[in-house]
Amino acid sequence: MIMMKYARFVSLVFAGLFAGFLTAVLVLELSLRGFDSTVYTQVRLVELDSLDKLAVATLLPALIATAVLVHQTYRTNTRWLTVAALALLVLVFGLTLIVNLPINSDQLHWNAQSPPADWTDVRDRWQIAHAVRTVAAVLAFTVLALAASLPRTRRSSLPNTSARTIRRAPRR
């Protein structure tokens, strides 16, 4: 029971920090849409300096703690909420690996004075994937908060023996 409390606390704190971080980056990215390629590239290069480290430092503990929480809540009424939160965080992690990190890696080599000709297409792909990640992270945090607010009841691992046995009428 104590392990569940710690896992729930760590899961909520880090999922909340991660969701807030992604929301702040989304607001920044959307505000950059009105600027030219030079400004966008300069800001992206600043973002790429350390924000990836912050993402790792918040997402990984959220994933690990939520996985532990899934195990701890397996026989409770909140198990499906914690499984849903874990699935959403795994979606965020997968999308990050498949879309955002490869773009980040390419953008590290961009020159602010002469960005690539397709910089708007790259920006749009990154921002769409980031918006999906942000929504999933906020939903994961919301689901974890909901699960934390519900009273937990344990399910019995034994079959239900209180059900009536149906007796057949004798054949005539």
Structural domains counted in the chain: 1
Is residue 6 assigned to a domain?
yes
Using DSSP, state whether 76 is helix, strand or coil: strand
Is residue 135 assigned to a domain?
yes
The better pLDDT of the pair 168, 135 is held by 135
CA distance 106 to 93: 19
CA distance 59 to 63: 6
Please give the average per-residue pLDDT across 127-156, as a whole number: 91
Q: Quote the Cα angle for 129-70-54, to 5°.
A: 40
Is residue 169 assigned to a domain?
no
Q: In this predicted structure, what is the pLDDT of residue 158? A: 46
Is residue 167 assigned to a domain?
no
Please give the average per-residue pLDDT across 133-154, as a whole number: 92
- The angle, 0 to 180 degrees and rounded to 10, between the axes of the packed helices 2-31 and 119-149 is 150
Is residue 166 assigned to a domain?
no
Is residue 156 assigned to a domain?
no
Please give the average per-residue pLDDT across 120-129, as a whole number: 98
Please give the average per-residue pLDDT across 53-61, as a whole number: 96
CA distance 52 to 72: 30
pLDDT band at 155 (very low <50, low <70, confident <90, very high): low
Has residue 165 got a pLDDT over 70?
Answer: no
Tell me what the pLDDT averaged over the chain comes to: 91
Length of the chain: 172
Please give the average per-residue pLDDT across 136-143, as a whole number: 98
Note the helical H segments in the chain. 2-31, 37-72, 79-95, 101-107, 119-149
CA distance 72 to 75: 8
Is residue 170 assigned to a domain?
no
Is residue 165 assigned to a domain?
no
Please give the average per-residue pLDDT across 43-65, as a whole number: 96
Range of the domain at 82: 2-149
